[in-house]
């Protein structure tokens, strides 16, 4: 393979730039050339091609977001949209495409392969870390650390004013960020969509803790479990304690990637380019412990990633 394309798609994630850099430089190392498209699948359809050489991906490793921009394309979800996209890829004489993104973006890649026989390679890029076939997706570590910094800051003021704080973190379908940041931040309760919880029990626990002299608490809630404002109102009503809410929102998605995310992105980006150029297709690269792996996209996308029960248990024990 002598010519490949690359896009970033879906929600941006810190480390995507490092992954683009790795795809480009690894491909060049193999004697191949790379064309990027801005705005993900939408940009392929609209032919927003951008030749990428070694120089054009210089100076981006430390930058959050993605130099290729990103989008969630509605047009690509239609058969006609995908047909147009493949037409553009073929017009540029591209022999394969690296897709850096989350679940929906990887599904798009698989559709290109299944419907048109177009060679694709997926790289997991999402702060949510909800993708099977890899222990970590690019951006998760940075997002968790961003949330953690906010939790640590809030704990100082929560302690001083003896208040309850409800902090809402990202995760519409899952609680990976909430659990990780909640554990690291010593949260008194972590509410995630995967696990049923009783707010009344949490209120009772807080009242008991207050008798023991503990007068401030941090509750982490994943956006898919409940809204921070509703939890805060419930707590105030049922405990009489003063509570405040904080929605962290998109600040978790921005910022310079951590060393962990940069190195992960470099390893996964380079592996993806190398495997695609070597003729592998319809796979997603990932990490299993310290080892690099690559799994069929069909397996990755049909397997649900579960919350680690050991971490859940630990969160419960630590909150006592």
Element (H, E) at 15: none
In the shown chain, the binding pattern of residues 59 to 88 toward ligand F6P, with x for contact by CB under 6 A and - for none, equals ------------------------------
| Shortest CB 177 distance to ligand F6P, Å | 7
Question: C-alpha angle 174/180/183, rounded to 5°?
Answer: 125
For the CB of residue 102, give the shortest distance to ligand F6P in the complex, in Å: 5
286: exposed, middle or buried (Cβ count in 10 Å: 0-12, 13-18, 19+): buried
Distance of alpha carbon 169 from alpha carbon 218, whole angstroms: 12
The answer to whether 170 contacts ligand F6P (rule: CB under 6 A) is yes
DSSP assigned state of 47: T
Q: Looking at beta carbons only, is 90 or 172 nearer to ligand F6P?
A: 172
**Smaller CB distance to ligand F6P: residue 119 or 139?**
139
Q: How many residues sit in the footprint of ligand F6P (CB under 6 A)?
A: 10
The separation between CA 259 and the C-alpha centre of its own chain, rounded to angstroms, equals 16
Candidate ranges 120-128, 179-187, 207-215, 229-237; the one touching ligand F6P (CB under 6 A): 120-128
Provide the minimum distance between the beta carbon of 170 and ligand F6P in the complex, in angstroms, as a whole number. Answer: 3
Nearest to 151 by CA among 172, 128, 182, 188: 182
Contacting range for ligand F6P; rule: CB under 6 A; set: 62-70, 166-174, 182-190, 277-285: 166-174
Token pair for 26: 């690894």
Longest dimension (CA), the chain: 71
Measured CA to CA, the distance from residue 133 to residue 3 in angstroms comes to: 27
Q: Is residue 207 involved in binding ligand F6P (CB under 6 A)?
A: no
253 contributes a contact to ligand F6P by CB under 6 A? yes
> For the chain, what is the total number of helices (H) and then of strands (E)?
11, 11
Residue closer to ligand F6P, measured from CB, 254 or 296: 254
Give all strands (DSSP E) within the chain, no chain letters: 3-9, 33-37, 49-52, 96-101, 120-124, 164-169, 189-191, 217-222, 243-247, 283-288, 291-296
Let me know if 128 is a catalytic residue.
yes
Q: CB nearer to ligand F6P: give 180 or 205.
A: 180
126 binds ligand F6P (CB under 6 A): yes
Binder among 18, 20, 127, 148 for ligand F6P (CB under 6 A): 127
- Residue 119 or 175 having the CB closest to ligand F6P: 175
Contact pick of 15, 40, 64, 102 for ligand F6P (by CB under 6 A): 102
Given 12, 103, 128, 261, the catalytic residue: 128
**Positive or negative torsion for Cα 237, 243, 244, 250:** negative
Residue tagged 């850096």 (tokens): 100
Q: Which residues are catalytic?
A: 128
Residue ranges binding ligand F6P (CB under 6 A)? 11, 102, 126-128, 170-172, 223, 253
């Amino acid at each position: 393979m002598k010519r490949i394309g690359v896009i970033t798609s879906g929600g941006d994630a810190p480390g995507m730039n490092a992954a683009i850099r790795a795809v480009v430089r690894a491909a060049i190392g193999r004697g191949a050339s790379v064309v990027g498209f801005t705005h993900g699948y939408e940009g392929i359809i609209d032919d927003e091609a951008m030749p990428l050489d070694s120089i054009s991906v210089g100076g981006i490793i430390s930058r959050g977001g993605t130099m290729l921009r990103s989008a969630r394309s509605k047009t690509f979800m239609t058969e006609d949209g995908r047909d147009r996209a493949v037409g553009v890829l073929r017009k540029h004489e591209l022999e394969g495409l690296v897709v850096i993104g989350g679940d929906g973006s990887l599904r798009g890649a698989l559709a290109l392969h299944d419907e048109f026989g177009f060679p694709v390679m997926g790289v997991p890029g999402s702060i949510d870390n909800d993708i099977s076939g890899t222990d970590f997706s690019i951006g998760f570590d940075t997002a968790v650390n961003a949330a953690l910094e906010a939790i640590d800051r809030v704990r100082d003021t929560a302690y001083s004013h003896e208040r309850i704080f409800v902090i809402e973190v990202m995760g519409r379908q899952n609680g990976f960020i909430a659990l990780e940041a909640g554990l690291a931040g010593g949260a008194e309760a972590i509410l995630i969509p995967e696990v049923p919880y009783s707010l009344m029990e949490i209120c009772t626990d807080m009242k008991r803790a207050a008798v023991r002299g503990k007068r401030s608490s941090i509750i982490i809630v994943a956006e898919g479990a409940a809204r921070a404002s509703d939890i805060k109102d419930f707590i105030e009503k049922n405990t009489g304690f003063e509570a405040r809410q904080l929605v962290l929102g998109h600040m978790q998605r921005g910022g310079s990637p951590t060393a962990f995310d940069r190195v992960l992105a470099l390893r996964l980006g380079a592996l993806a380019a190398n495997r695609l150029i070597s003729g592998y297709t319809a796979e997603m690269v990932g990490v299993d412990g310290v080892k690099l792996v690559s799994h069929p996209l069909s397996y990755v996308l049909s397997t649900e990633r579960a919350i680690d029960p050991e971490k859940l248990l630990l969160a419960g024990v630590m909150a006592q």
